[in-house]
Amino acid sequence: MNSEQADILDLLSGHTDDTTIERLAFECLLTNMTDDRVVSLMNILGWQGDFNCFAIGGVPSASLASTSLAIRKAVRDLGGEHVVIGTYGTFLLALACQMGAVTPEVTCTAVMPAFSEDEPLYLSPVRSGVAGASHALRETMFSLQAAPALSTPSRPLRADELLPERALLGDDYAREELYRNVYQVLRGENPDDPTYLTVSTFLKCGSSLENTAKELNVHPNTVRYRLKRAAETTGWDATDPRDAYVLTTALAIGRMRDR
């Protein structure tokens, strides 16, 4: 144990059991604290180096204790060693270190019975290091909060399914995703590229090809082609109502930030 780890343990008022350290580490990660002190906490729990991890969250099917035990057992049975579990309101969030068969899909399938079937379940992408661990837990928290906005949420929910709603709740990761990977991609680097203008005009015109073509003074087929190209570039199709909402939110965030 190095001196920094010893200092952190001193801050724990003499409580040096793994449960206390895990609870403190969880709270730090959930509140976006990722400095060297948190790195040391994770090291004490066995999370060494630039580890890969992912998070799963939902409402426990029974008690918090029984759900926690079921998740830890499932991870051990898959050959894993490290899990950090905590709660946020009625949600239980579990951060798992990826190793062996402990991968997002396999682990989610194994632990799914521990979560309520009638409530949303979220599975994060794989993230790296302490900063990635915080990212995974926070996007899980925001996604579970935002899930009621969807009439038929998938099970499990995925990272991109609730970007606008997460942004509305104050999720900086979602806002950054919408800004960098949607808005900036639409803007492009070529000022003569009409993609951004076409998509923004199409959304402004209520998704009408004819009205968009009239305002841009082009043929409707030209608008259709540009929208298809935009969908291929960004992954979001302006002619789809849900995707249009994502694009509208991204444009609003981008315009505000650029201004």
The mean pLDDT value for 185-210 works out to: 93
Q: How confident is the model at residue 16 (pLDDT cuts 50, 70, 90)?
A: low
Instruction: Note the pTM of the prediction, 2 decimals.
Output: 0.87
Taking only the tens place, the pLDDT of each residue in 61-71 is 989 999 999 99
Taking only the tens place, the pLDDT of each residue in 24-60 is 999 999 999 999 999 999 999 999 888 999 999 999 9
Q: How open is the CA angle 227-228-229, to the nearest 5 degrees?
A: 90
* pLDDT computed for residue 10 by the predictor: 54
Greatest distance between any 2 Cα atoms in the chain: 73
What angle in degrees, to the nearest 10, is found between the helix axes of 209-216 and 195-204?
130
- C-beta atoms surrounding 239 within 10 Å: 13
Rounded Cα distance, 212 and 215, in Å: 5
Average pLDDT, the chain: 92
The mean pLDDT value for 166-180 works out to: 95
